[in-house]
Amino acid sequence: MNTFEPYFSLGWHHILDIHALDHLLFMGALLAVFEFTHWKRILILLTAFTLGHGLAMLIALTQLFRITNAWVEFLIPLTILITSIHHLIQGAKGDRLMYVMTLLFGIVHGLAYSQGFVDLFANSDGYVMAALGFNLGVEVGQLAFALIFLVLMEILSRIRGLDRKSIRLFLYGIIITLSLQLLIENWIF
C-alpha cells in the first residue's frame, strides 16, 4: 500500500484547514512581518517549523517524554502570542532566535497530533513513508499559504492609503486577540 500520497494530502490539509485556526494564526504571525524579498528567511523559517513537526513525531515514537494534550493545547496559542510579540518588537530582522523559536514551536504544534500518528504507524512498515509524506505535505501547505498570504499583503499595501506597517499592526492585533482567546479557553492553571 502506498502510504506517501494519502499522508502528503493529510499534511497539506493539516496546515490549510480553515478549522485549524492555530496553524493559520501561527503562519500569519510568522509571515506578517516579511515581504517577498525575504523569501530565503521565510523558507528557512517554514522549514524549521516542519522540522519541528517531524521532531515531535520522533519524540512521540521514542517516548522521550510525554506531555498531556491539555498542556499542548495551552502552549500552542502561547507560541502564536510569543511569535507575534517578537515580530512586533524585532521586525523582519534576521535574528537567529526566531529560527530556534520556530523550530521549538514546530515541536509544540507537532505534539498535538504526533502521538496519534505514531500509534497508527509505529508497528507498520509504512511508517517512514507516511511520516515523510505528512511532513512534506505540511511543508508544501505552508509554502502555498505563505505565497497566498504574501500576495494578499502586497495587494493590500498597494491600495491607496494603506502602508505595510499599518497592515501589519492591524494583522498582529487580530492575531494577538485570537491567540489570547485561545489561551484563555485552554488555560490550565
pLDDT at site 107: 95
Average pLDDT of the residues in 30-45:
94
Average pLDDT of the residues in 161-189:
93
What's the pTM? 0.91
Cα–Cα distance measured from residue 23 to residue 52, given in angstroms and rounded to the nearest whole number: 13
| Of 95-109, 121-135, 138-152, minimum mean pLDDT range | 121-135
pLDDT digits (tens, 9 = 90+) for 79-122: 999 999 999 999 877 678 999 999 999 999 999 888 777 777 66
| Of 30-34, 67-71, 122-126, minimum mean pLDDT range | 122-126
